Structure 1
Amino acid sequence: MTIAQTATATRRRFGVLAADFAVLGLNYADRAAFGIAGPLIIAEFGFSNAAFGWLASIFALAYSPFGFIGGWLADRFGPRNVMGWAVIAWSAFTALTAAGIGFVSLLIIRFLFGAGEGPQATVTAKLMHNWFPKRELGTALGIANAATPLGGAVATPVVVGIMHATQGNWRLPFLIFGALGVLAAIGWFWVVRDTPEQHPKVNDAEVRVIRQDQAEATEAAQQDAPGFWSCVAKPAVWATAIAYFGYAWILWTFVSWFPSYLVQERGIDLDGLAISGAIPWVGGCIGLIAGGALTDWLVRRIGDPEAPRRWLVIACLAATAVLFALVSMVTSTFAAVAVMTVVVFLLYLTGAQYWIIVGEAVPAARYGAVSGAVQMFATSASIFAPLVTGYLADSSWGWSGVFVVAGAITIIGPVLLLFAGRRRA
């Protein structure tokens, strides 16, 4: 490619990235709001930790399969439509959370909310693969997914501030976030197209930039691609899925329960929660951006598109497992928040890598469905982690058991990736 070709290229892919960043930020703000409001919800309805664990887990019972369904639909109908309608769906059920009047109603609303949120991760992976060259893919996915912890970081003080200003009205934040979702969906449909070739403001030079190091899937290549089950059976795919399960276990324990842990175990009040609950999310945002940029740089230096990403997952996920097990053992609230911030930073350093490792192992024609299957398996952790956490917190194991069990589960993934995760396997 000549300098003249790249000099005149449009940069619409970054507008698509910005749109995805915005909806993912809202996605996690909506999701985190329930955990942030958790102490007030528990107090109003008199829920036990186990009961609240069911409310946190029922979300994932729909979220997990709809990750697969979203990827499958994105392969067939395009990521633009799938994500746009998903934003509308999850925003409607975010607003309806305010109508919850007890355990059963909240259980139903949270289940439907999970179905709406399910497609976001696999659709994002598909969209970024469509819009970015491989040399920029890690950075693009890192930036896009950095919106998720940023959404949690912003949502924490916002939700707490609204509840504080309204004398503990936990319903109003859900109504506000639901309305914002409708506006986000309108913006999404305005900005995003499935591929750069379909976008009216993308010129040929930008298409060449995006496609120059991609193997474009021809019709013949799609017909000759191995079947879905052959792709899923690859060691690099299932080992990555198990590692991602551990990632999701820690993430969902943190999202669903860390605010309640700070209130119940560390004695944090509502004002303190606005800061203490937000700080780890900031670490996660930095981690996602840094992880994507770091692995892209290593890929360019080493020339191997897979090994740097796999080793980053192995090292950081193993360290995350050990540190998470130690959270309840530190003596001060400041130390607990500091350790959790490091945990979330290391966890999110790996956040963009799972999708790229899978993308290197399977053909483009199968990517949406296979990545959806990986997400469905991995996010099944989001069904069990909040539920197990509630029962452990109420048991004689207490919060110490919560963190140790999560660390033990998470360490399995890095070990498997170490021995079975090589792409050639």
Structure 2
Amino acid sequence: MFKKYRWTIVTMLFLSNAINYVDRSAMSVALPILSKKFALTPFASGLILSSFFVGYALFNFIGGFLSDVVGPRRVMGYAMAVWSIFCALTAGAFSFISLFFIRVIFGFGEGPLTSTTNKTMNNWIPLKERATAVGICNGGAPIGGALSAPLVAFISLKWGWQAAFLVLGVLGLIWTFSWFKISTDKPNNHPRVSQEELKEITAGRDIAAAQVGSAPAKVSLLSILKQRSILALIVGMFGYNYTLFFFITWFPSYLVEGRHLSISQMGIAAMIPWIAGALGQVAGSLIIDFIYRKTGKVLFSRKVVLVTCLLLAAVCVVLTGFANSAVSAVFFMTLGVCFIYLQATTYWAIIQDLVPSEKVGGTSGFVHSMANISGIFGPALTGWIVQSTGHFAPAFVLAGGLAIIGALAVAFFVKGAKNAGAVPQEQIA
């Protein structure tokens, strides 16, 4: 299976997600150093962390919409180039304002990544492999996060924090050059894709549409976005994103300020949950496809993993806030991040199941954009809570509570066709 050319595209998208999360997490790892350099209060630090999501949330939708219109290849390539350049320019920040501005533009560049990845997967991957492929692509994110903590901490202590951002910027530009050489928008445009592989990719495209009652291809994007299932999915992803971004943005500072670890100790400790997340990302995707193959129920295979794991993640995050040692805090957060990533693939798989191919990019972008509003106010709100109360525990409780609300929204309001049954096994194989 993995010898087919579509897995080269999956590999490139895996690497793009890894670079994305190394770049994105670099600021959180370097923040304890930058807070001292620029004399930032917890609230000001939160604003720096939130500034990324101002640009990011806006371009989630714009990037997804453009991937439907001009194709995911160009959108992905130009997005990587922009964020890599502004990642490198972070090294030139000289004040709170300059750092804030650079992070906003950096967010513009990273915004299209996930929705454009989803559009590419919809073009390149057959239904029976879709959750696995999306899981592998998105599995680059926690691996990138795991690498970011020790890598950025080491480079910052060895050569200064500026060097870390310069190195990461160059890495992204190398990927951009390779992507334009290797990829096409669709497999039928690529000279290395055989007719046999094209048949595999297009096989079963009508299965999900018939089973879950997806919208007709000619329906408007606005009418899709108003569907109850899509709105509930936004609530679910909002809870998931708030919890994940809380971990990405504040957990390193929590370890340094709340648990009194050194920068080098923090770099190692913050890496552990990311490793669990990477394993969870791939395992969750394999579990989803396994449940689908066994039951023939497309939407059920997604929802059961999403709801169960997001609820368990919420419990673990709350327990982290009341842990009595750094070891127990890392333990509970590791479990929480593992459960978060076990269900991370499900949102994108559900969108691909419910939405016609021509609207996957725009719908993915809108859902992602609305959910990522959590990233705009979440980090700043966490900084305000810590500054006002002197404790991190209330912020952990809030993150867990929002994850619970998200899980319940998906459980009760994301539904398929009323008369849909299981897909015959011979159609799944």
- Within 5 Å, give how 1:397-416 maps onto structure 2: 398-416=391-409
User: Could you tell me which of 18, 23, 31 is aligned with 1:30?
Assistant: 23
For residue 50 of structure 2, what is the amino acid of its counterpart?
A: S
- 1:215–1:194 distance in 2 versus 1, CA, 3 Å: farther
For residue 235 of structure 1, report the CA deviation from its aligned partner.
Answer: 1.9
| Secondary structure in 2 matching 1:171 | helix
Match of 2:165 in 1: 174
Aligned: 1:197 with 2:188: yes
- 1:208–1:224 distance in 2 versus 1, CA, 3 Å: closer
Match of 2:12 in 1: 19
For residue 173 of structure 2, what is the amino acid of its counterpart?
A: V
| Secondary structure in 1 matching 2:368 | helix
User: Could you tell me which of 236, 240, 247 is aligned with 1:254?
Assistant: 247
Aligned: 1:285 with 2:284: no
- Matched residues in 1 for 2:274 and 2:216: separation? 43
- Matched residues in 2 for 1:69 and 1:212: separation? 30
- Matched residues in 1 for 2:206 and 2:408: separation? 31
Contact 2:46/2:379 (<8 A) preserved: yes
Match of 1:241 in 2: 234
For residue 321 of structure 1, what is the amino acid of its counterpart?
A: A
- Matched residues in 2 for 1:423 and 1:379: separation? 25
For residue 199 of structure 2, what is the amino acid of its counterpart?
A: R
Match of 1:294 in 2: 287
- Matched residues in 2 for 1:175 and 1:204: separation? 43
For residue 398 of structure 1, report the CA deviation from its aligned partner.
Answer: 2.0
**Deviations 1:309-332 (Å, cap 9, x if unpaired)?**
111111111111122111121111
Aligned: 1:102 with 2:100: no
- 1:308–1:105 distance in 2 versus 1, CA, 3 Å: same
Contact 1:313/1:350 (<8 A) preserved: yes
Contact 2:126/2:203 (<8 A) preserved: yes
| Secondary structure in 1 matching 2:298 | coil
- Matched residues in 2 for 1:385 and 1:306: separation? 30
Aligned: 1:111 with 2:101: no
**Deviations 1:311-368 (Å, cap 9, x if unpaired)?**
1111111111122111121111111001101100000011111011122122112211
The alignment-based identity, stated in percent, is 35
For residue 228 of structure 1, report the CA deviation from its aligned partner.
Answer: 1.5
| Secondary structure in 2 matching 1:398 | coil
- Within 5 Å, give how 1:204-223 maps onto structure 2: 204-215=195-206
- Matched residues in 1 for 2:11 and 2:408: separation? 35
- Matched residues in 1 for 2:3 and 2:252: separation? 44
* Structure-1-length-normalised TM-score: 0.94
**Deviations 1:214-269 (Å, cap 9, x if unpaired)?**
149xxxx9985222122112222111111000110011111111100000010110
**Deviations 1:119-140 (Å, cap 9, x if unpaired)?**
0000000101111101000000
- Within 5 Å, give how 1:73-84 maps onto structure 2: 73-84=66-77
**Deviations 1:364-404 (Å, cap 9, x if unpaired)?**
12211111110011111111111111101111262011101
| Secondary structure in 1 matching 2:392 | helix
For residue 242 of structure 1, what is the amino acid of its counterpart?
A: V
Match of 2:421 in 1: none
Aligned: 1:341 with 2:334: yes
For residue 393 of structure 2, what is the amino acid of its counterpart?
A: S
| Secondary structure in 1 matching 2:389 | coil
For residue 305 of structure 1, report the CA deviation from its aligned partner.
Answer: 1.1
- Matched residues in 2 for 1:424 and 1:59: separation? 38
Runs of 4+ with deviation above 3 angstroms: 221-224
Contact 2:52/2:104 (<8 A) preserved: yes
Match of 1:418 in 2: 411
Match of 1:125 in 2: 118
Contact 1:10/1:206 (<8 A) preserved: no
Contact 1:63/1:117 (<8 A) preserved: yes
Q: How many residues align?
A: 412
- Matched residues in 2 for 1:358 and 1:22: separation? 23
- 1:224–1:308 distance in 2 versus 1, CA, 3 Å: closer
- Matched residues in 1 for 2:410 and 2:109: separation? 31
For residue 168 of structure 2, what is the amino acid of its counterpart?
A: F
- 1:55–1:213 distance in 2 versus 1, CA, 3 Å: same
- Matched residues in 2 for 1:91 and 1:233: separation? 35
Contact 2:217/2:357 (<8 A) preserved: no
- Matched residues in 2 for 1:142 and 1:278: separation? 20
- Matched residues in 1 for 2:337 and 2:185: separation? 32
- Matched residues in 2 for 1:14 and 1:24: separation? 15
* Structure-2-length-normalised TM-score: 0.93
**Deviations 1:138-163 (Å, cap 9, x if unpaired)?**
00000000000100101111111112
Match of 1:390 in 2: 383
- Matched residues in 2 for 1:223 and 1:232: separation? 13
- Matched residues in 1 for 2:357 and 2:225: separation? 14
- Matched residues in 2 for 1:285 and 1:223: separation? 35
Contact 1:250/1:410 (<8 A) preserved: yes
For residue 86 of structure 1, report the CA deviation from its aligned partner.
Answer: 0.4
**Deviations 1:166-212 (Å, cap 9, x if unpaired)?**
3xx11110001001111010111111111110111111000011111
- Matched residues in 2 for 1:409 and 1:205: separation? 46
Gaps of 5+ in 1: 1-5
